[in-house]
Amino acid sequence: MVAAQIAKVLLILLTDRRWAPERMAETGGMPSSHSATVSALCTSTAINYGVESATFAIALVFGIIVIYDATGVRRAAGRHAEILNELLEEFSHLFEESKRPKALKTLLGHTYPQVFVGSGFGIAMGFIVDRLLN
pLDDT digits (tens, 9 = 90+) for 80-96: 888 888 888 888 777 77
More confident residue, 130 or 79: 130
* d(C-alpha 100, C-alpha 88), whole Å: 8
The answer to whether 88 and 4 have CB atoms below 8 angstroms apart is no
Q: How far apart are the first and last CA of the chain?
A: 20
Number of residues in the chain: 134
**Quick one: pLDDT at residue 23?**
66
* d(C-alpha 124, C-alpha 118), whole Å: 10
Mean pLDDT is lowest, of 38-42, 63-67, 80-84, 104-108, for: 104-108
User: What 3-state DSSP class applies to 63?
Assistant: helix
User: Per-residue pLDDT tens for 50-67?
Assistant: 999 999 999 999 999 999
